[in-house]
Amino acid sequence: PCHRARRADRGNPACRRLTALHSKPGQDHNPVMEFEIMPVTRYEQNCSILWCERTRRAAVIDPGGDLDPILAEINRRGLSLEKIWVTHGHADHAGAVAELKERTGATIEGPHEDDRFWIERIPEAGRRYGLEGAREFESDRWLENGDRVTLGETEWEVIHCPGHTPGHVVFFHRPSNFAQVGDVLFKGSIGRTDFPRGNHADLIEAITTRLWPLGDVQFVPGHGPMSSFAQERRTNPFVGDAVVGQ
C-alpha cells in the first residue's frame, strides 16, 4: 500500500457534481464539471472519470487497471474520452495507461518527467505486485509546476508535489476548489516516502507551501475517502498545523 489509510469503498460508483464556486460576474452557477470515483486493482486505487458537463469531453485520472468497467461507464454516460491524466508513475496508478491510449487514442498528460524511471519499471512492478498486464508508456506531454491542462471548457492547474515520487503532480480546478492529489495526501495520512527517490522533507514542503495556500479545497486522494485541505490541516497527524507549526 502507498499509505496507512483505510481501504477504499468498492461499492457502486457515485457520481459527484461540482459547481463553479468563484464564477465571474455574469456567469451562471450551473455545474461545469462532474466526476466519478472508480476504485481499481487489488490496491483499490481511486481512478476517476472527470467530464465537462457542456461538451461531454472526459478525462480518466490514474487508470491503474480494470479498464472494462471504466470504459463501460464512459460509454453509458455518452462521454468522449479526450485525456488521460497521470499523477505519478507507480504501477497501481499508471499500469493501464498504455492500454487505455491504444483503445481510445486519448492524449496522455503527466506526470512530471522526473517519474520516467518509475514508468519504465511498471512491467516489473506489475509482475511483482500482481497487476496483470501493467505496461510502461510514453507521455504525450510531461507536466511542470504551473502548467495548465484543459478538458472541454474547463481549465486545471498543475502543481508539482514531489516526495512520494519525484515527479508527482496534482490537478487543481480552482473554480470549484477541487483537486485530484494522487498519493501526496490522504484523509488522516500522507504518501509513503520510503520508495526509491522518495523524500519526506520534500513531501511536507510541497503540501504546506503548494497545497495549503490554496484554501479549503475538497480533494480525491489516490486511495481511501475524500477529504479537504482544511480538515487535514486541523486533524492530520503527519502534516496538520499542530504538527508542522503553521
pLDDT tens readout for residues 84-93: 999 999 999 9
36-92 pLDDT, tens per residue? 999 999 999 999 999 999 999 999 999 999 999 999 999 999 999 999 999 999 999
pLDDT at position 23 over 50: no
Per-residue burial over 70-95, b = 16 or more CB atoms within 10 Å of its CB, e = otherwise = bbebbeeeebebbbbbbbbbbbbbbb
- Whether the per-residue pLDDT at 32 is higher than 50: the answer is yes
Cell numbers standing for residue 223: 486511495
